[in-house]
C-alpha cells in the first residue's frame, strides 16, 4: 500500500548551525556542554561493556550514509551521492550490488537510510529512504538469490515527505514489533513539524507493505511529531525507541519516543518544560554533537557526532528508560562520524565516517567503516 501526504500524495547559519562542519573542541570532556533533563526517568545504570580499540574495516567509500546487517553477518551500505548499494563482509570485502534509480542529490539529500527485513531469509526485502526530484520517499527493493538488487524495481511505500537541500531526515529501523519506523525532517521549513497532515518533522510507523500501523495514535502513519531533523533511531531494552535529533543553533537532543508525543519543534529547542510538549532525555551543545547515527549495545546508546567529531556513549538506566552522564570517545581522531550500528550479537559497533560530504577534511582513507569492539 502506498501512503500519500495530504495535498501531495503521504553552524553555516542559524538554520545550518547543527549540521555545519567545524573543527571539534579540543576538550573531550562532557562538561557543561551536556544536560540531562531533570524530568528524565531515573534508575540504576545498566552494566556497561568495555570499549576496545577501533580498527578500519573499509576505506575509500563515497559518503556512506545508511548501514544495515544481513543475516549472514555482512552489511548493506548506502552511498548518498553515488546511490550505490554496497555489500560489506566482516573481513572488509566490498561488493557493489546495485544502484537505486531516481535518487536526486540535493545538498544533504540523496540515498540515505536502509533497513533489512526481519524476514529477509524468506522475503529478500530491503528498504531504502531517498531524495527524489520532488520529495523524500521510502521504497522496498528485493535482493536476488545472488545478492544483487535491482534498484529500479521499486515499490513505493511512502511518498510526499518534504525534501530540500537540508533537514531530510532519513533514518529507518525495524522494531521488535516487526514494524518499520521512519525518521523525517522538516526540510528547513519549520511548520511541517507541528502539522499532523504533513509528513515532515515526524517519526512514522508503517507495516512492511507501507500501510499505517494498527494502533498508531492519529490513525495515520504518524507516530510522533514536533521533530526538526531526526536521522538516528535505536531500540533499547524493553523495546524502547530512542532518536537522535539535530537542533538549530543551541542544542542537539536524544529523545525517548512515546506514541503521539509532541517533541516541541519549532516552539521549543531542547529542554523547555512546556505543558503538552515532551522534553528530550538529554541535550548537547551543537559544537560537540550534531548526532546522526544511533545504536544500542552493551547497556548504552552510542551516537555518532558529525560536527562534534566523536562517538558519544550514553549509559542507560534500568526502569523507565533513564540515562546517565554521556562520555565522549575518539574526539577528533576520525573526523565526522555518521552511522553507528551494532552487530547483531552486540559485540561491536560499525561506524561510518562522513568526511567527503563537503563539510569534513578527508584523509586518503576516507570515507571509512570503523569497527569498535565491545567486550
Q: Is a pLDDT exceeding 60 seen at residue 325? A: yes
Structurally, how many domains does the chain consist of? 1
Q: Is residue 121 part of a domain?
A: yes
Q: Is residue 19 part of a domain?
A: no
Looking at residue 2, its pLDDT comes to 43
Average pLDDT, the chain: 93
Q: Is a pLDDT exceeding 80 seen at residue 40? A: no
Q: Is residue 50 part of a domain?
A: yes
Q: Is a pLDDT exceeding 90 seen at residue 304? A: yes
Q: Is a pLDDT exceeding 60 seen at residue 243? A: yes
Q: Is residue 13 part of a domain?
A: no
Q: Is residue 21 part of a domain?
A: no
Q: Is residue 5 part of a domain?
A: no
Q: Is residue 20 part of a domain?
A: no
- 103-127 pLDDT, tens digit each: 999 999 999 999 999 999 999 999 9
Q: Is residue 247 part of a domain?
A: yes
Looking at residue 119, its pLDDT comes to 99
Summarize the confidence of residues 137-145 as an average pLDDT. 99
Looking at residue 30, its pLDDT comes to 54
The 3-state secondary structure of the chain reads CCECCCCCCCCCCCCCCCCCCCCCCCCCCCHHHEEECCCCCCCCECCCCCECCCEEEECCCCCEEEEEECCCCCEEEEECCCCEEEEECCCCCEEEEEECCCCCCCCCCCEEEEEECCCHHHHCEEEEEEECCCCEEEEEEEECCCCCECCCCCEEEEEEECCCCCCCCCCEEECCCCCEEEECECCCCCHHHHCCCCCCCEEEEECCCCCECCCCCCCCCEEEECCCEEEEEEECHHHCEEEEECCCCCEEEEEEECCCCECCCCCCCCCCCCCCCCCCCEEEEHHHCCEEEEEEECCEEEEEECCCCEEEEEEEECCCCCECCCEEECCCCCCCEEEEEECCCCCEEEEEECCCCCCCCCCCCCCCEEEEEEC
Looking at residue 14, its pLDDT comes to 32
For residue 231, what are the domain limits?
31-373
Reported confidence tier of residue 32, pLDDT bands at 50, 70, 90:
low
- 342-373 pLDDT, tens digit each: 999 999 999 999 999 999 999 999 999 999 99
CATH number at residue 124: 2.120.10.30
Amino acid at each position: 500500500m502506498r501512503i500519500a501526504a495530504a495535498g501531495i500524495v503521504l553552524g553555516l547559519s542559524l538554520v545550518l548551525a547543527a549540521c555545519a562542519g567545524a573543527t571539534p573542541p579540543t576538550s573531550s570532556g562532557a562538561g557543561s556542554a551536556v544536560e540531562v533533563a531533570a524530568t528524565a526517568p531515573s534508575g540504576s545504570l545498566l552494566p556497561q561493556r568495555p570499549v576496545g580499540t577501533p580498527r578500519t574495516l573499509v576505506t575509500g567509500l563515497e559518503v556512506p550514509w545508511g548501514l544495515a546487517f544481513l543475516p549472514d553477518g555482512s552489511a548493506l551500505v548506502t552511498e548518498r551521492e553515488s546511490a550505490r548499494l554496497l555489500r560489506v563482509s566482516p573481513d572488509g570485502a566490498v561488493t557493489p550490488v546495485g544502484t537505486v534509480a531516481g535518487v536526486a542529490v540535493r545538498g544533504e539529500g540523496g540515498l540515505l537510510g536502509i533497513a533489512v527485513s526481519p524476514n529477509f531469509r524468506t522475503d529478500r526485502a530491503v528498504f531504502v529512504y531517498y531524495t527524489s526530484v520532488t520529495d523524500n520517499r521510502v521504497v522496498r527493493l528485493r535482493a536476488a538469490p545472488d545478492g544483487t538488487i535491482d534498484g529500479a524495481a521499486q515499490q513505493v511505500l511512502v511518498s510526499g515527505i518534504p525534501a530540500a537541500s537540508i533537514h531530510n531526515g532519513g533514518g529507518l529501523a525495524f522494531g521488535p514489533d516487526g514494524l518499520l519506523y521512519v525518521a523525517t525532517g522538516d526540510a528547513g521549513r519549520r511548520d511541517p513539524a507541528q502539522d499532523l497532515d504533513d509528513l515532515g518533522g515526524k517519526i512514522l510507523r508503517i507495516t512492511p507493505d507501507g500501510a499505517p500501523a494498527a494502533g498508531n495514535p492519529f490513525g495515520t502513519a504518524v507516530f510522533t511529531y514536533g521533530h526538526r531533523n531526526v536521522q538516528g533511531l535505536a531500540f533499547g531494552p524493553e523495546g524502547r525507541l530512542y532518536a537522535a535529533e539535530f537542533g538549530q543553533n543551541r542544542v542537539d537532543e536524544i529523545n525517548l519516543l512515546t506514541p503521539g508525543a509532541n517533541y516541541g519543534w519549532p516552539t521549543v529547542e531542547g529542554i523547555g518544560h512546556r505543558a503538552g510538549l515532551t522534553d528530550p532525555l538529554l541535550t548537547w551543545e551543537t559544537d560537540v554533537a550534531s548526532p546522526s547515527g544511533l545504536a544500542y549495545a552493551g547497556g548504552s546508546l552510542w551516537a555518532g557526532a558529525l560536527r562534534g567529531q566523536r562517538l558519544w556513549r550514553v549509559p542507560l538506566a534500568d526502569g523507565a528508560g533513564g540515562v546517565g552522564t554521556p562520555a565522549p570517545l575518539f574526539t577528533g581522531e576520525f573526523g565526522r562520524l555518521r552511522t553507528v550500528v551494532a552487530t547483531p550479537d552486540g559485540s561491536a559497533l560499525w561506524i561510518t565516517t562522513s568526511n567527503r560530504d563537503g563539510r569534513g577534511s578527508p584523509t586518503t582513507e576516507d570515507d571509512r567503516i570503523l569497527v569498535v569492539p565491545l567486550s
